[in-house]
Amino acid sequence: MNHKTSFIIEEPESALARFRIRFRQRRAKIFREHFDLTAETRILDLGGWNGTYMHAILENSPVSPANVYVADINEQAVKDAAARYGFTPVVIPETGPLPFSDKFFDIVFCSSVIEHVTVPKEEVWTLVSGQRFKDIAQTRQNEFASEIRRLGKGYFVQAPYRWFPIETHSWLPFVSYLPRRLQVLLIRFTNRFWIKKTSPDFYLPTMEDMKRYFPDASILKEYALGMTKSLIAYRRN
């Protein structure tokens, strides 16, 4: 008797998307374990886009949606966050302080955002000097981190780790190991056909960077395949 076996070949993008979802679920668990949440807890989701991720993190928590402020440079995205989940929308500029007083929030949540705080968007493809890109990025990220520390009694800031073999924005191996000039050239080329298109606007912080940006924080490591995948700087409220 002949037996026919059928194989379902999974699309790479689907597999990677599920991989990311698992990590986000794990990250949500870490967040809930490290902060005491009540109906009055006031949270700033900085760079929170349309609030979907924060909604998943706070699902079944006592936090009032009106006390969750979703801040992003995209006006339509934060309007969607308000319409879908009842969050308070905040449109913010790319640079400069946010319109809130010191320690206005109990927690500032910021996931996979700080690495994009680098050069102006119009210079992303043209600035290929690695040293200059690094200098500008570190200066702006430090300013961004200072604003997080000013705004929050506590905070939770995650960033992909620089030396994880698979670069999370492009899904390309070892991109973050390359000099800036080669990164730009490679991403420009692979954007023509690769499953994940991206912009080379990211500077992935190292452990030393995160310690410098958040000197009053504890630093957690997230692992994948036995290696550090991302870093989390947190301070309890």
Burial 59-78 (b: 16+ CB within 10 A, else e): eeeebebebbbbbbeeeebb
Q: Rounded to two decimals, what is the model's pTM?
A: 0.89
Structural domain boundaries in the chain: 12-121+137-173+201-235
DSSP state for residue 6 in the 8-state scheme: -
d(CA 79, CA 210): 31
Specify the pLDDT at position 96. 81
Summarize pLDDT for 139-149 with one digit per residue, the tens.
999 999 999 99
Please give the distance of CA 28 from its chain centroid, rounded to a whole number: 13
- Give the closest residue to 48 by CA, choosing from 156, 153, 140: 156
Fold of 12-121+137-173+201-235: Rossmann fold (3.40.50)
Summarize pLDDT for 26-84 with one digit per residue, the tens.
888 899 999 999 999 999 999 999 999 999 999 999 999 999 999 999 999 999 999 99
